[in-house]
């Protein structure tokens, strides 16, 4: 689906993270400054009048003047950049980034945001308003797989694009869910949750976060070998807080070694001395009834018959049923076959067709 809401507008997204002080909007970690016009619309501030000396610089000057050994001054208000070791006020550091505004691009989580801001600047160059150029990003420290025989560390998108005259897809073409780096990944190592098994998509399993890189999580099936672990984005729609299956009357596969009827989340968390990931971290903490209603009003419902491509043997279009509906996805099951062929298809998917197709 390509319909974009206002929340997909880059400026609307940025508006959410702006901090206001004395009528000037500061985007933490960037040199961009904003103001609101009389109608309350967000404008890029550029005149000197709009931009009094930045608090960050003011404080730095103050600190330099006042401080001999600035370590003494690190208190709850202050933070030190992990890269350049500059001391600054916490409000000038992106939340949990530990990097000052000049080095924030070294944090994989925020790198993409700076790329997007650079692009915004480029797009706005011809506008009447001017935007201060954000700090130029350098190579991301998040692992980026490039090509055979190339060294990811020396890879630069900018020179790759420029030298080959390629065109990147513009920032504004993506949905906000795809620009996930603007959201924070609040998951922590060891947190437990429920989620769809990507290898058997009709099964909901008990999972633990075992690794975190930027906005991605490595999930482990409790009680099973690490070789089954898989990676998802933190805003994945198929991971859920503990208790989701019970609340939505779905069957939860317990960790290996625990019988179906013996599994109880409360007891399990105590026994494993672990915590459940808080519901607020999930994109879809419960069934989204609105999405579900939209799918059902289109005519889809559990138990109905259709024809669907077998993704495991995609030369075959087979007799199938809707086994479950989760938000705007249908669980496709092939009549007479085991659930290993099941998969979740968006209700607009080109893999599904009416009978007699």
- From the list 140-148, 272-280, 295-303, 309-317, the region that binds ligand MLZ by CB under 6 A is 309-317
Min separation Cβ 338 and ligand MLZ, Å: 9
Q: By 3-state DSSP, what share of the chain in percent is helix, strand and coil, each rounded to 5?
A: 30, 25, 50
Stretch that binds ligand MLZ, among 74-82, 199-207, 255-263, 311-319 (CB under 6 A): 311-319
Q: How many residues bind ligand MLZ (CB under 6 A)?
A: 7
Distances (CA, A) of 128 to 37, 44, 118, 132, 198: 14, 10, 17, 13, 49
Among residues 93, 334, 343, 347, which is the contact residue for ligand MLZ, using CB under 6 A? 334
Q: Does 317 bind ligand MLZ (CB under 6 A)?
A: no
Question: CA-CA distances (angstroms) from residue 352 to 200, 201, 238, 282, 336?
Answer: 19, 17, 20, 28, 18
Distance CA 7, CA 124 (A): 19
Residue from the set 123, 158, 229, 310 that interacts with ligand MLZ by CB under 6 A: 310
Helix (H) or strand (E) holding 345: strand 343-346
Residue whose C-alpha is closest to residue 206's, from 190, 198, 218, 194? 194
Q: What is the dihedral of CA 148, 154, 157, 159, to 10 degrees?
A: -110
Q: Which stretch binds ligand MLZ (CB under 6 A): 12-20, 174-182, 281-289, 310-318?
A: 310-318
Stretch that binds ligand MLZ, among 17-25, 239-247, 248-256, 308-316 (CB under 6 A): 308-316
Cα separation, 131 vs 99, whole angstroms:
22
Q: Which is nearer to ligand MLZ, 178 or 313 (CB)?
A: 313
Measured from the CB atom, is 12 or 316 closer to ligand MLZ?
316
Q: Using CB under 6 A, which residues numbered 120 to 179 contact ligand MLZ?
A: none
In the list 62, 74, 189, 316, the residue contacting ligand MLZ (rule: CB under 6 A) is 316
Between residue 185 and residue 214, which ones bind ligand MLZ under the rule CB under 6 A? none
Quick check: 351 binds ligand MLZ (CB under 6 A)?
A: no
The smaller minimum CB distance to ligand MLZ, of residues 242 and 309, is found at 309
Q: Per CB under 6 A, which region of 109-117, 171-179, 266-274, 333-341 contacts ligand MLZ?
A: 333-341
Q: Kindly state whether residue 7 participates in binding ligand MLZ, applying the rule CB under 6 A.
A: no
Check binding of 337 to ligand MLZ (CB under 6 A): yes
Question: Which residue has its beta carbon closest to ligand MLZ?
Answer: 334
319 binds ligand MLZ (CB under 6 A): no
List b or e across 90-127, with b for residues whose CB sees 16 or more CB atoms inside 10 angstroms.
eebbbeebbbbbbbbbbbbbbbbbbbbbbbbbeeeeee
Q: With 0-12 CB in 10 A as exposed, 13-18 as middle and 19+ as buried, what is 294?
A: middle
* Interaction between residue 313 and ligand MLZ (CB under 6 A): yes
Cα–Cα distance for residue pair 263/206, rounded to 1 Å: 10
Hunting for tokens 């190592």 — which residue is that? 189
Q: Are 10 and 131 in contact (CB under 8 A)?
A: no
Q: How far is the CB of 199 from ligand MLZ (least distance, A)?
A: 16
Shortest distance (Å) from residue 323 CB to ligand MLZ = 13
Q: Is 341 one of the binding residues for ligand MLZ (CB under 6 A)?
A: yes
The dihedrals phi and psi of 180, each to the nearest 5 degrees, come to -65, -15
**Contact with ligand MLZ (CB under 6 A): which of 318, 323, 346, 351?**
318
Which span (57-65, 201-209, 282-290, 334-342) binds ligand MLZ, by CB under 6 A?
334-342
Q: What are phi and psi of 152, to 5 degrees?
A: -55, -30
Site of interaction with ligand MLZ (CB under 6 A): 310, 313, 316, 318, 334, 337, 341
């Amino acid at each position: 689906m390509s319909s974009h809401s206002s929340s997909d507008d880059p400026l609307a997204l940025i508006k959410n993270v702006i901090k206001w002080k004395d009528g000037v909007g500061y985007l933490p970690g960037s040199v961009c400054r904003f103001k609101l016009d009389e109608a309350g619309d967000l404008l890029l501030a550029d005149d000197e009048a709009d931009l009094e000396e930045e608090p960050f610089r003011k404080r730095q000057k103050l600190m330099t003047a006042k401080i001999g050994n600035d370590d003494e001054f690190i208190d709850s208000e202050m933070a030190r950049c992990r890269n350049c070791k500059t001391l600054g006020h916490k409000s000038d550091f992106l939340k949990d980034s530990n990097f000052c505004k000049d080095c924030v691009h070294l944090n994989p989580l925020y790198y993409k945001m700076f790329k997007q801001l650079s692009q915004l600047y480029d797009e706005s160059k011809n506008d009447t308003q001017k935007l201060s150029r954000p700090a130029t990003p350098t190579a991301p420290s998040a692992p980026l797989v490039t090509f055979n025989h190339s060294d990811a560390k020396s890879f630069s998108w900018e020179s790759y694009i420029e030298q080959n005259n390629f065109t990147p897809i513009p920032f504004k073409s993506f949905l906000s869910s795809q620009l996930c780096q603007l959201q924070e990944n609040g998951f922590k190592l060891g947190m437990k949750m429920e989620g769809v098994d990507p290898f058997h998509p009709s099964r909901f399993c008990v999972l633990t976060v075992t690794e975190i890189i930027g906005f991605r999580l490595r999930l482990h099936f409790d009680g099973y070998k690490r070789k089954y672990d898989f990676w998802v984005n933190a805003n994945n729609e198929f991971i859920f807080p503990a208790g989701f299956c019970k609340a939505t009357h779905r069957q939860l596969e317990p960790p290996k070694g625990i019988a179906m009827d013996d599994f109880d989340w409360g007891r399990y968390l105590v026994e494993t001395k672990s915590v459940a990931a808080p519901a607020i971290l999930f994109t879809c903490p419960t069934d989204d009834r609105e999405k579900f209603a939209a799918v059902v009003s289109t005519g889809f419902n559990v138990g109905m018959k259709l024809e669907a491509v077998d993704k495991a043997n995609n030369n075959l279009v087979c007799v199938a049923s809707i086994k479950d509906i989760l938000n705007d996805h249908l669980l496709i099951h092939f009549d007479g076959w085991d659930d290993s062929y099941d998969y979740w298809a968006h209700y607009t998917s080109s893999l599904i067709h009416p009978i007699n197709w």
